[in-house]
Each structure stands twice: as C-alpha cells, then as structure tokens.
C-alpha cells in the first residue's frame, strides 16, 4: 500500500463499552423478531419452522464463541475479513470482506422495506416506498455523528424493542392454543412439506441471529477489546429468548397463513384475538419501528466499518478509509449506503433480500470458523483473552455445513445470482484489489 494511501486512512475512536456492544449486537438482529421471519411459516408450517430453529441455534452459538475468540485476539474493524487474511492470506480476506458487504448491504434493504410497510400500515396515506426512502436516508446520515452517539441511540431503541416483545408476549400468551400452532387437522402430519419444509424454513430461522457478527467490526472502537465477551455472550442469550417468542406465540394465536407473507406479523397476529384496528396491534406496529431503527442503524454502522477496513487494507480505494471529525468513515458509509438504497427501491422484495443476505453470510461464516482452527495452529502464541474451547469450533463447522446444504437445496434457483456476483468480485480482485494491499506486518503491527 502506498504511503499516500496510508496517510489518508483516519482512526476510529475508542469509546464503546460492553453495554454499548450488547446494544449493537442485539440491535443488529432485533428487527428480525418483528419482521422477515414470518416467511418461514409458509415453508412447512409452524412446527417445521420451530424445528429448523434448532440446527440454526446449534450453529450460531458455537460460531459466536469462535467469533469472540477471534475478535478479542485480533480486534480489527474488518472483523472476519481480517481474521481470514491473517489465517489464509489476502485473497481469502477479500472474499470474506466482500461476503460481509453483500450480506450487510442487502439486509438493510429488507429492514427499510419492512419499515415502509409498517409506516403504511399505521398511516395508510403515506406510500410505503416513500417511507422506506426517507427512513433510509435519515438514518444513514445520522450515523455520520460517530460511534458514541450511534451506540447511545442503539441502547435506547434496543431496550424499547425488547419491551415491545414483552408486551406482545403478555398480550398473546392468554390466547395461545396448541391446536392453532400445530396448524393441521387431526391425523395430518405437522411437517406439511416434509424435510423440504424444514430446510426452507432454515433461511428464515437464521434471521433471528443474522448480522449479530457485525458487532465484531466495532472491536477497534472498544475501550478494552478484552470486554467483548461481556457484550457478545449476553446478546446471544437475549436473542435466543426473543426468537422463541416470535416463533411460537404469533402462530399460536392466529392462522399462520395470514401472517406468513406480511412484514408486520406480530401486529397482524394480535388482530385475531383483539380485532382489526384496535390499540394493541397498532402499539406493537409502532414499537416495531424502534426495532427497525435499531437494526438498520447498527447494520449501517457495521458495513461502514467493513468498507473502512477494506479501504485501509487496500482492497478498496483508500478514500473509503477517510474519517470525519467524529471518527466515522464518511465515504465508507455514504457510497455503499447509496448503493443499498438504489437496490431497495428497484427490488422491493423483502423475501428475496433475506435469501441473498443468508447466502453471503453462510460463505463468511464458513471461512471465519475455519480461521479459528488455522489461527490456533499458525499462531499458537497469539494472546487469546477468550477461548471457544475445543468442541465449539467443531460443532460450529458441522452445523454450518448442514445449514449451507439446506439453504442451497431449498433456494437452488438463487444460486446462479450468487455465482455471478462472486465471479464479478474475483475479476475485480484480479484487476485492482490485489495490487494495493497493505503489508500484513504493518496492518496488524506484527514485529
């Protein structure tokens, strides 16, 4: 990397506490408890959806233990891209970083679309797509204020979102019926589409944890990177509980077919026992907006740090590594954010957005898990304030492969688009990305 490009790179500010990291980690995901997941009901019914959540959890929990080990030993804004580069070399680092960008550029599209639908549900006079665009632009610009302001917002909106899920649970629980949750006539199979129903639902079960890994990209901004487990592990526990609320209760109080294709399933589910247009469904829809803010703002924060890190490394032009006076990578936020906004307006399909995001994420997860094994062997003396142990990485890899096979099997028609995107990325790397890479010793301060 040229001296000029190194000088262009700004520095991120170290002002993030464990509670702030917890808020970002939960905030990244919490909107998934309010929208997006409901498409999983259509794959094979509520029971298949609940069963699909088991292998997803068995992948994410050990994966996040591995991820925490890597984040505390290599606190880098590139997150998995940095781990992969250190373990396998520059090409693996680029592909991993590119996968993060694809997942994190597309997932806010889904959040923004759901937000527009929610606003339209609450105020029908406001067109959904207009609300989507305004929401997108406002919170993209808000994140230019820096990590300290962003993390404070995350804490507030995340807590409000969790309170909303508690309100929903209290309102829904008295009306829960097991027969409604099962959703089939006596004598019929609860697995309405067999194995394919479970496999198809896994894509949407992942939505309950999807993007939590983005918090690792704020590792450089932690006051003490050793505190990362104090934020990450409670976040996983929080999301496990909220996921069960969203899978079990909506389908237990309403016909799952009625909520399987809407972007505000909790509100629609409450309309069955409480009535259309009544206070509680509207309240939950309003609180869902806080969840959308939490996830959208945190995802924007994460992909801007990934873009910043790739610009600083040299995979992307050095301009992406410039920061403003608040320590925010201005171009690293605005340029990819604008691309995401264009994709949002042109696509307008939440289900497709979820599927594409999941494909890219699984590629990144696989490389990150393998990085754990390689780094232990390659750099055994590296300081590791947190260890995932011997069993967790093995479990993570096994269930990651299970999820990858199932998602591919259930979404084979989307595979061609994934291949095209990665071929373009490889061509870019060969033409530009590999020519300006910063020396690894310089980037990681290796003596």
Q: Dump pLDDT digits (tens) for 210-226.
A: 888 888 777 888 888 88
Task: Round the average pLDDT of the chain to a whole number and report it.
Answer: 87
The answer as to whether 301 is a domain residue is yes
**187 pLDDT tier (thresholds 50, 70, 90):** low
The answer as to whether 155 is a domain residue is yes
The answer as to whether 394 is a domain residue is no
pLDDT 10s digits, 85-101: 999 999 999 999 999 88
The answer as to whether 391 is a domain residue is no
The answer as to whether 402 is a domain residue is no
Least confident of 7-16, 59-68, 111-120: 7-16
Q: How many domains does the chain have?
A: 1
The model carries a pTM of 0.84
pLDDT 10s digits, 434-443: 988 988 888 8
Q: Which domain holds residue 180?
A: 3-378+409-441
Query: With helix as H, strand as E and coil as C, how does the chain read?
Result: CCHHHHHHCCCCCCCECHHHHHHHHHHHHHHHHCCCHHHHHHHHHHHHHHHHHHHHHHHHHHHHHHHHHHHHHCCCCCCHHHHHHHHHCHHHHHHHHHHHHHHHHHHHHHHHHHHHHHHHHHCCCCCHHHHHHHHHHHHHHHHHHCHHHHHHHHHHHHHHHHHHHHHHHHHHHHHCCHHHHHCCCCCCCCCCCHHHHHHHHHHHHHHHCCCHHHHHHHHHHECCHHHHHHHHHHHHHHHHHHHHHHHHHHHHHCCHHHHCCCCCHHHHHHHHHHCCCCHHHHHHHHHHHHHHHHHHHHHHHHHHHHHHHHHHHCCCCHHHHCCCCCCCCHHHHHHHHHHHHHHHHHHCCHHHHHHHHHHHHHHHHHHHHHHHHHHHHHCCCCCCCCCCCCHHHHHHHHHHHHHHHHHHHHCHHHHHHHHHHHHHHHHHHHHHHCCCCCCHHHHCCCC
pLDDT at residue 354, rounded to an integer: 65
The answer as to whether 28 is a domain residue is yes
The answer as to whether 399 is a domain residue is no
Domain containing 29 — which CATH number?
Answer: 1.20.1740.10
The answer as to whether 178 is a domain residue is yes
pLDDT at residue 295, rounded to an integer: 86
Stretch 287-313: mean pLDDT = 88
pLDDT at residue 211, rounded to an integer: 83
More reliable by pLDDT, 110 or 179: 179
pLDDT at residue 353, rounded to an integer: 65
């Amino acid at each position: 990397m040229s001296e000029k490009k190194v000088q262009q790179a700004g520095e991120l500010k170290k002002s993030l506490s464990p509670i702030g990291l917890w808020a970002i980690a939960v905030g990244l995901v919490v909107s998934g408890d309010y929208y997006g997941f409901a498409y999983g009901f259509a794959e094979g019914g509520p029971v298949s959806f609940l069963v699909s959540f088991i292998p997803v959890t068995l992948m994410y929990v050990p994966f996040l233990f591995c991820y925490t080990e890597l984040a505390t030993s290599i606190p880098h804004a590139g997150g998995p891209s940095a781990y992969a580069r250190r373990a396998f070399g520059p090409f693996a680092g680029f592909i991993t970083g590119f996968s993060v960008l694809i997942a994190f550029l597309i997932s806010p599209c889904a959040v923004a679309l759901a937000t527009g639908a929610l606003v339209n549900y609450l105020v029908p006079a406001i067109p959904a797509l207009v609300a989507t665009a305004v929401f997108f632009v406002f919170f993209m610009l808000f994140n230019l204020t820096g990590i300290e302001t962003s993390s404070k917002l995350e804490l507030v909106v995340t807590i409000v979102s969790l309170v909303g899920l508690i309100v929903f649970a209290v309102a829904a629980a008295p009306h829960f019926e097991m027969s409604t949750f099962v959703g089939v006539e006596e004598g019929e199979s609860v697995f309405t589409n067999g194995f394919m129903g479970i496999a198809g639902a896994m894509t949407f079960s992942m939505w309950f944890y999807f993007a939590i890994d983005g918090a690792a990209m704020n590792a450089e901004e932690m006051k003490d990177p050793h505190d990362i487990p104090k934020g990450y592990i409670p976040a996983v526990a929080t999301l496990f509980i909220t996921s069960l609320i969203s899978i079990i209760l909506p389908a237990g109080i309403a016909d799952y077919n009625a909520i399987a294709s809407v972007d505000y399933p909790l509100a629609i589910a409450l309309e069955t026992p409480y009535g259309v247009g009544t206070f509680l469904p509207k309240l939950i829809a309003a609180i869902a907006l806080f969840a959308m803010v939490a996830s959208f703002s945190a995802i924007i924060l994460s992909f801007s740090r990934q873009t910043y890190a790739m610009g600083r490394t040299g995979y992307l032009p050095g301009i992406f590594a410039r920061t403003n006076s608040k320590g925010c990578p201005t171009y690293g936020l605005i340029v990819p954010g604008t691309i995401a906004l264009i994709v949002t307006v042109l696509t307008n399909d939440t289900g497709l957005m979820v599927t594409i995001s999941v494909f890219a994420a699984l590629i990144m997860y696989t490389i990150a898990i393998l990085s754990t094994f390689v780094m232990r062997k390659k750099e055994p003396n590296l300081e590791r304030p947190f260890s995932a142990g011997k069993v967790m990485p093995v479990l993570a890899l096994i269930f990651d492969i299970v999820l990858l096979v199932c998602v591919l099997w259930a979404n084979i028609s989307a595979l061609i688009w994934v291949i095209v995107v990665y071929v373009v990325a490889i061509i870019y790397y060969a033409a530009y990305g590999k020519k300006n890479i910063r020396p690894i010793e310089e980037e990681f301060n290796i003596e």
